[in-house]
Amino acid sequence: MSTYFALMKARFLTLLQYREAALAGIMTQIAFGLIRVMIIRAFYASAATPPETSLAQVVTMIWLGQAVLGIIPWNGDGEIMSMMRSGNVAYELARPIHLYTYWYVRALALRTAPTLLRAVPQFLIALFLFPPEWRMVPGSWLSVLAWTPTLLGAILLSAALTTLMSIASMWTLAADGILRITTPIVTLLSGMIVPLLYYPDWAKRALELLPFAGVYELPARVFSGVLEPSAAFGVFALQLFWTAALVLLGRLITARGLGRIVVQGG
Amino acid sequence: MDTLVLYLRYISASMRSQMQYKLSFFLTSAGYFFSSIIDFVGIAVLIGRFGALKGWNIGEIALFYGLSQLSFAFTESWMRGFNVFNRYIIDGRFDRILLRPRGVAMQVLAAEFQLMRVGRFIQGGAILWYGILASGIAWRFSDVLMLVGGLIGGVLVFSGIILIQATSCFWTVESLEAFNMFTYGGLEAMHYPLDIYNGWLRRALTFVLPLAAGGWIPIGAILGRVVPYPAGFLSPFIGLAFLLCGYAFWLYGLRYYESTGS
């Protein structure tokens, strides 16, 4: 256990070094957030029937999404994928560690370190710097409290999805291409592009049960007060269920993939 | 003339090399297609839920969306070399370009021509076509001309932004992600008519970073809303002026470039 913890910590500290990239990322994410907020405000201003979710809640969800953008499992672990391509994965096989667990803790670091760098300043900006009706306004103190376990759940779940994406490169060298297809699907289904709230009811109910909703939309609803704080229990349970299922799936695929791996000598 | 022939030979070589990896090409193209169609799914969901946006119906918004996607796709394809210019500086490839007795900008342009964006082309074109049919415009010849002018204007402005982004690499190679704010952020803003935004953003996109030339100005004129009709023909000229400013900046940066020698 402590081995994996040390590996994760090392990776985490490495990723914390990319500070200039984080600064540029913050600027871009704030700009995108502003555009999104303007678009949604325009929709609300011209809505034929008033929507059940308040504008303040949706604006809050948008800013939260920009702040924790790095948690969304939009890519795999680049180093693992290039190891598959170059054959260096053979070194990994020689190590006395469980490969899936190693990759999973790396994914945990990948999802948290860059996000931590970006999220803190973005929270401060979104909470305090904008005019009142543009700000991030959490539902209540209780909402923020209830949101914290769902944030943890989102990270665990996202790392499981990330690891699955990295593993895909075991089966095809065209993993880049596969990722280009999965990335937009993941961002759409997680509610990043448009909150799942606005989908037609039948689609909404189905999408809420998929693992992707647990990565962003459901925690954001708890944070913004769209969902009651007590709903966090259900969200967390759903996140843990999907994490367990996807970890199991990932381990199975890894075992099968390693069974058929051929390392070229030389 | 000589330069043009050379440019065409360069890009045909680049295309042939990309077609060597057919599966990768196909998957990547499909990926671009998906990612841009999914954005439009988002818009369709919002319009389905809220109805028209400030009086703009989905057909009209499709015009804005399709035209901006299409001009961005053209720009990404032909400006690829400038778009990844930081790599040329980092690995010293740019020094080799400087040594050759041909125009510098032409060589960077010719170095890479990205076919992968074909997915965005198809998607942008399809949505533009849908907008052309669904917006209920009785298309006159001058309207079509204006739309084509808007496409050219959009390509020129986006190209100008990418040229400025590339030039900034002469001073720092870390700034690329910050420029995403202007390229991808600009593209996102252009998906909608500009009058839904606050005044400062509207003015910035008209007078500072004149992306309005690639959507708002020509389409607003065609639809007869807000923009006076003759102004719609200004697009390509605005675009050209902006690109020339970018080129002047590039020449300025080029004079100050010093290789690290590695």
Q: Least CB-CB distance to B49: which of A28, A177, A198?
A: A198
Mean pLDDT across B246-258: 90
Which segments within B83-222 are labelled E, that is strand? none
In this prediction, residue A50 carries a pLDDT of 75
What is the pTM (predicted TM-score) of this model?
0.86
In this prediction, residue A265 carries a pLDDT of 57
Nearest CA distance, A39 vs chain B (angstrom): 7
In this prediction, residue A229 carries a pLDDT of 92
Question: Sign of torsion, CA A205 A210 A211 A212?
Answer: negative
Contact (Cβ atoms closer than 8 angstroms) between residue A241 and residue A266 = no
Q: Least CB-CB distance to B178: which of A24, A38, A194?
A: A24
Q: How far apart are CA B44 and CA B133, in angstroms?
A: 16
Nearest CA distance, A234 vs chain B (angstrom): 26
At residue A252 the predicted structure's pLDDT band, cuts being 50, 70 and 90, is: very high
Q: Least CB-CB distance to B52: which of A46, A187, A200?
A: A46
Interface with chain B: mutation pick from A189, A193, A197, A207, highest number of B CBs within 10 Å: A193
Nearest CA distance, A262 vs chain B (angstrom): 22
In this prediction, residue A172 carries a pLDDT of 64
Interface with chain B: mutation pick from A188, A199, A202, highest number of B CBs within 10 Å: A188
Which residue of chain A has the CA closest to B182? A28
Residues of A in contact with B64 (CB under 8 A): none
Beta bridge partners of B53: B56
Please indicate whether, in this complex, the C-beta atoms of A174 and B188 are within 8 angstroms of each other: no
Nearest CA distance, B99 vs chain A (angstrom): 32
In this prediction, residue A173 carries a pLDDT of 60
Q: What percent of chain B shows pLDDT beyond 70?
A: 97
Contact (Cβ atoms closer than 8 angstroms) between residue A135 and residue A41 = no
Q: Least CB-CB distance to A200: which of B23, B48, B188?
A: B48
Asked whether residue B262 carries a pLDDT value surpassing 60, the answer given is: no
What is the DSSP-derived secondary structure letter of residue B208?
A: I
Q: How far apart are CA B2 and CA B4, in angstroms?
A: 5
Mean pLDDT across B142-154: 94
To the nearest 10 degrees (0 to 180), the angle between helices A78-86 and A99-124 is 150
Please indicate whether, in this complex, the C-beta atoms of A180 and B30 are within 8 angstroms of each other: yes
Asked whether residue A174 carries a pLDDT value surpassing 70, the answer given is: no
Please, is B99 exposed, middle or buried when counting C-beta atoms within 10 Å of its C-beta (0-12, 13-18, 19+)? exposed
Closest CA to B216 of B157, B134, B171: B157
Please indicate whether, in this complex, the C-beta atoms of A24 and B39 are within 8 angstroms of each other: no
Which residue of chain A has the CA closest to B194? A39
Contact (Cβ atoms closer than 8 angstroms) between residue A76 and residue A165 = yes
Contact (Cβ atoms closer than 8 angstroms) between residue A257 and residue A80 = no
The 10 Å Cβ neighbour count of residue B185 is 21
Nearest CA distance, A106 vs chain B (angstrom): 24
ipTM of model: 0.85
Q: How far apart are CA A11 and CA A8, in angstroms?
A: 5
Range name among A86-90, A133-137, B238-242 with the lowest pLDDT average: A86-90
Any B CB within 8 A of A27 CB: yes
DSSP letters, B29-63, are HHHHHHHHHHHHHHHHHHHHHH-SBTTB-HHHHHH
Name the more confident of A168 and B200. B200
In this prediction, residue B261 carries a pLDDT of 64
Name residues whose C-beta falls within 8 Å of residue B245's C-beta, 6 or more positions apart in sequence: B160
Contact (Cβ atoms closer than 8 angstroms) between residue B60 and residue B135 = yes
In this prediction, residue B158 carries a pLDDT of 95
Report CA dihedral (A231, A134, B57, B140) to the nearest 10 degrees.
-150
Please indicate whether, in this complex, the C-beta atoms of B32 and A38 are within 8 angstroms of each other: no
Mean pLDDT across B212-227: 89
Please indicate whether, in this complex, the C-beta atoms of A177 and B49 are within 8 angstroms of each other: no
Nearest CA distance, B142 vs chain A (angstrom): 31
pLDDT in tens, B23-58: 777 777 777 787 778 888 888 888 888 888 888 888
Name residues whose C-beta falls within 8 Å of residue A174's C-beta, 6 or more positions apart in sequence: B23, B24, B27
Q: How far apart are CA A11 and CA A96, in angstroms?
A: 18
Q: What percent of chain B shows pLDDT beyond 90?
A: 35
A97: region left, alpha or beta (phi > 0 left; psi from -120 to 50 alpha): beta
Closest CA to A229 of A218, A215, A243: A218
Contact (Cβ atoms closer than 8 angstroms) between residue B219 and residue B235 = no
Which residue of chain A has the CA closest to B178? A24
Q: How far apart are CA B235 and CA B32, in angstroms?
A: 27
pLDDT in tens, B123-136: 889 999 999 998 88
Please indicate whether, in this complex, the C-beta atoms of A179 and B31 are within 8 angstroms of each other: yes
Mean pLDDT across B249-260: 86
- Whose tokens are 């009706």? That residue is A133
Mean pLDDT across B9-23: 80
pLDDT, mean over chain B: 86
Contacts 24+ apart (CB under 8 A), A224-228: A224/A57, A224/A58, A224/A60, A224/A61, A224/A64, A224/A137, A224/A138, A224/A139, A224/A143, A225/A57, A225/A60, A225/A138, A225/A139, A225/A140, A225/A143, A226/A53, A226/A57, A226/A61, A226/A139, A226/A197
In this prediction, residue B193 carries a pLDDT of 92
